[in-house]
Amino acid sequence: MSSLALSYVLNLLARREYSEYEIRCKMQEKGFNPQEIEQCLLHCRQKGWQCDKRFCENYLYARSQRGFGLNRIKQELRQLKGVRAEIISEAVQESDIDWQQLALSVLSKKFPAYSSCKDQKSKQKIWRYMLSHGFEAQDFSALVGGGDDFID
């Protein structure tokens, strides 16, 4: 492992947490060879500088604070960040995020008059928004109503 590779990774990790997949991709873009990448990642894991579980916990908290639901966050972690499903489910189980309370706060911020929406078009708009932001139907269906008409 070269000191150049290690200093590059440490420079990345000094700014924020990265998943192993993200670091691997960034190092490949910079032209480091695969053996060097593996050695560097192994060294960082052994020293505790890089940990996918810690990254996952931080990402889960940060994205939930930005108003995204569990489904969206899990999808981002799997597809964009390359975190294994076991690590994601472990971090979700250990988190103390109240998804129903989060759904309520997102709903009341985006749609302040959501409880007075009676027409189907407005309810469909709310449902689309909440589902596209990764919330489960059960997290907000009682608040909005009309769920039987919109989901299969």
How many whole angstroms separate alpha carbon 81 and alpha carbon 98? 23
How many whole angstroms separate alpha carbon 143 and alpha carbon 57? 28
* 18-61 per-position pLDDT tens digit: 999 999 999 999 999 999 999 999 999 999 999 999 999 999 99
Average pLDDT over all residues of the chain: 91
- Label residue 143 exposed, middle or buried (CB < 10 Å: 0-12, 13-18, 19+): middle
- Label residue 149 exposed, middle or buried (CB < 10 Å: 0-12, 13-18, 19+): exposed
Say how many C-beta atoms besides its own lie within 10 A of residue 104's C-beta. 15
| Tokens at 30, concatenated | 């910079």
pTM value is 0.87
Q: What proportion of the chain, given as a percentage, has pLDDT over 90? A: 78
Q: 149 pLDDT exceeds 90?
A: no
Q: 151 pLDDT exceeds 60?
A: no
